[in-house]
Chains A and B, each alone.
Chain A
Amino acid sequence: MSEEKTSSFEQDLARLEWIAGQLDEGDLDLDDSIKLFEEGQKLLKRCRDKLDKAQVKVQRLLESGDTQDLDPESLGR
């Protein structure tokens, strides 16, 4: 299981929070501030994009090991 892939949202959010904290309180010169701010803006966009991508893909595992798309609403009726 790839660590990067599974927790990147969490990592992005943690990094964003850290950056905002550094800009708030840290003793940085202007260049470092700008670098961090730019990184923070990128992270902000990435986090928002992921949240906006609200669709959840639902699949069903078949006996063959393949998967098949599934509509949750159609189940259990």
Chain B
Amino acid sequence: MTVSKDIFTVSLLTRQIKQTLETSIQPFWLRGELSGVLFHRSGHLYLTLKDAGAQIAGVMWRSKVTRLDFRPEDGQEVLVFGRLVVYERGGRYQVDIDVIQPAGQGALALEFEKLKARLAAEGLFDPERKRPIPRFPKRIGVVTSPTGAAVRDILVTLSRRGFDLDVLLVPVRVQGETSSAEIANALEVLSEMDTPPDLLIVGRGGGSIEDLWAFNEERTVRAIAACPIPIIAGIGHETDTTLSDLVADLRAPTPTGAAELATPDRGEILDRIEYQGRRLGRSMAGRLEGVRLRIEAAAGGYGIRSLPDRLMQWDQRLDDLDNRNRKALRGRLERRTDKLVALDQQLRALSPFNVVKRGYAVVRKEGNILRDVTGLSPGDMVSLQLAKGSADAEIKDVRSPHE
């Protein structure tokens, strides 16, 4: 007896069904009512999805079940994302589920993903579109609800950190149907002011995806993209990402974070300024020292007291500068003692009054100060001027720096 090629085996047929179904039906979102929800001992989740006319089995594997952020129950309307698979041993087809969401929330999530993909395709979220945030804004516009913790967090943080800064609050509703229009309008009003802010903060406290929805609406996102002023977004908590966050020039994890990113740290800036002040004093002292040596040379080593008035006054001014530095830094002396003492000593050591006291000698040949050995040969006579007294010496050997 021969077996015709036209007669399938069960396995072969099932495999063909499996291939046909699994390749022709792409992964999909599916809406339905849950029934027969079973959390198996193995950790896998078995369920049936049904509507008025049909039902289909579904399974979610353990690794995905552990990531579920709600507990599915019979009777719930849900959205699932998954793909169709054929279970050959059981002769059944079922949905291999990646994601389950309550239907309401799921619908928003779908809308979110669709809009996100569309706006991303337009390039709205491209890094190249991001405008630089001014490091020292003088005027910050804050667009948020006038009630609630967010506005207070933002304004208190700005007041604490900012300096020489104006803050302008534009109250808007951050939830509800009018919200996106109010936010868009606020951004427009701010950018059209006579003296527009140089930086904006758009913020809102935490909430559910529905609460934050105004910040996922196309109108809001486009208004932020179109606004000529750089915008920092601080919406919800760290884990919430809205499309407004993505389109903003800078994204902060929270409203407080947005206010922090908007303002430079005063302490840090003060450090920078005082550092420049010390540098200025040190450098000038160094230059005056050079000039002093030249004057002394010209005056034939007459000494420090004979310096022209102008230089004496400069010494005084440098000392004043030093005092002001130390006064400004007194508050931080405790944690910076070592560094400051070193800098202070350095500044003092460089003071023109101390140049010779430090143990240097001014070496002259025929009244001219020597800076290198050019023109110097064994047997030449030179004079050494020390802090106290002077001496004559004879050159025994000359070594140029290249030897």
Contact = CB atoms under 8 A, between A and B. Distances in A.
A40 B280 contact: yes
Nearest to B205: A76
A54 B170 contact: no
Contact of B163 (A10, A51, A73): A51
Contacts, number: 124
A70 to B, nearest CB: 6
Interface in A1-30: 1, 5-7, 9-10, 13, 16-17, 19-20, 23-24, 28, 30
Is chain B's interface secondary structure helix, strand, loop, or mixed overall?
helix
A7 B136 CA distance: 7
B152 A76 contact: yes
B23 interface: no
A61 B273 contact: no
B136 A16 contact: no
Contacts of A6: 134, 137-139, 198
B72 interface: no
A33 B150 CA distance: 51
Contacts of A76: 147-153
A30 B165 CA distance: 39
Interface stretch (B122-130, B264-272, B344-352, B384-392): B264-272
Nearest to A18: B276
B158 A53 contact: no
B266 A54 contact: yes
B291 interface: yes
Contacts of A40: 276, 280
B152 A33 contact: no
B279 A20 contact: yes
Nearest to A65: B189
Interface of B: 134-139, 146-153, 155-156, 158-159, 162-171, 189, 195-196, 198, 266, 269-270, 272-273, 276-277, 279-280, 282-284, 287, 291, 314, 321, 328
Given A23-B284, A24-B282, A56-B167, 5 more contacts: A16-B276, A51-B163, A58-B167, A60-B170, A75-B152
Interface of A: 1, 5-7, 9-10, 13, 16-17, 19-20, 23-24, 28, 30, 33-34, 37, 40-41, 44, 47-48, 50-54, 56-61, 67, 70, 72-73, 75-77
